[in-house]
Every structure is written in C-alpha cells, then in structure tokens.
Amino acid sequence: MADTFANVENQSNPGDRWFLITPGSNALAIKPRGIVCTVTGNITMEDDAGTPLTFTAVEASLQPYSLRPNKVTAATGTFYGVY
C-alpha cells in the first residue's frame, strides 16, 4: 500500500482526489487521508497492526472521518478514500 503522506508535515490540508473503497482481504492500494460516507451503512477496517474497528450506521455526509485504514474488510454503505 502506498502511503503518499508519510512524510507530509501538515496532513490537514483538504484532499483533492478520492477513490471508491471496495472491501476485501487485501490492503488498500492507496492509504487515504480520510474516509467519506456517501450512502449510510457499516464499515469494518483494520489499521497497520491488523486491529479491526467497526462503525455501525455511519450516516452519509461530506464531512470526512480522519481515519487512515490499511484495509477495509466489510462495508454495507458506500465509502470513498480521500487523499
């Protein structure tokens, strides 16, 4: 997984690219700076250490969640990675 922002000092600048997150067992191709939910649903993701985290009933919003998962293993809504 490419972490384009590993050496960026100010990671709070707005993202200008995004990609549809497709859940699976592999790491995301790009490590996002945040996640946006466009269709309400659940999401299960893992960090770099493989620790799972599940959010349920995530409401659709343009406000990104400041999460940088290594992989997304399940989702019932529609989620985008922002970078």
Q: How confident is the model at residue 14 (pLDDT cuts 50, 70, 90)?
A: confident
> What strands lie across the sheet with 18-20, from one edge to the other?
18-20, 78-82, 34-39
Rounded distance between C-alpha atoms, residue 32 and residue 44, angstroms: 15
User: Which pLDDT score is estimated for 15?
Assistant: 81
Please check the confidence at residue 11 and state whether its pLDDT lies above 70: no
Round to the nearest angstrom and report the end-to-end CA distance of the chain: 13
Q: How far, in Å, CA of 26 to CA of 34, rounded?
A: 18
Q: What is the pLDDT of residues 31-83, one digit of tens each?
A: 999 999 999 999 999 999 999 999 999 999 989 999 999 999 999 999 999 98
Q: Is the pLDDT of residue 3 over 80?
A: no
Q: How far apart are CA 26 and CA 54, in angstroms?
A: 17
DSSP annotation of 65 reads B
**Hey, where are the domains in the chain?**
24-82
